[in-house]
Amino acid sequence: MNMKIPRHPTLIRRSLLARQKQLQAKSPVLAASLVTIRRACGNPNCRCARGQKHLGHYLTWKVKAKTHTAYVPVDLLPQVKLWTQEHRRLKQLVQQISQLSLALIQTHVTAKRRKSGRS
């Protein structure tokens, strides 16, 4: 996750532009984590009552420190997995773009000084 930030504004801009181009969702985007839960269905005659629990897939996400969950049908699992991965990718991109944008501001003064020929 640590990114090396170039010193020169031209290089920063180039790096920024490359990431801006990647900043497009290739699928729906899901800001949640996928978890697998083992559970019993409650039927005393079911295999789960003897320890072979059912696997359930859920999404969990937080809103104001409160965790929410949603059941994920098994046939949707591959898609949902991709959607959460897409969120992770975009989130990382936005963080990098933000760091680079900040660096652009921070190098502004130095670059100006360099241009006016002090060294």
Residues ≥6 apart with Cβ < 8 Å to 80: 30, 34, 57, 59, 72
Token pair, residue 3, equals: 């990114």
> What amino acid occupies position 43?
N
State which residue, 41 or 77, has the beta carbon closest to Zn ion: 41
Comparing CA positions, the residue from 99, 100, 83 lying closest to residue 25 is 83
- In the complex, the smallest distance separating the C-beta of residue 41 from Zn ion, rounded to whole angstroms, is 3
Cβ of residue 36: shortest distance to Zn ion, in angstroms?
A: 16
Taking the C-alpha atoms of residue 26 and residue 63, their distance in angstroms, rounded to an integer, is 25
What minimum distance in Å lies between the beta carbon of 34 and Zn ion?
A: 22
Closer to Zn ion by Cβ: residue 14 or 47? 47
Looking at the Cβ atoms of 31 and 41, the one nearer to Zn ion is: 41
> Closer to Zn ion at the Cβ: 48 or 90?
48
Tokens for 50?
Answer: 């003897």
Q: Could you tell me the smallest distance in angstroms from the CB atom of residue 23 to Zn ion?
A: 44
Contact residues toward Zn ion (CB under 5 A) are 41, 46, 48
| 6 close to 15: Cβ distance less than 8 angstroms | yes
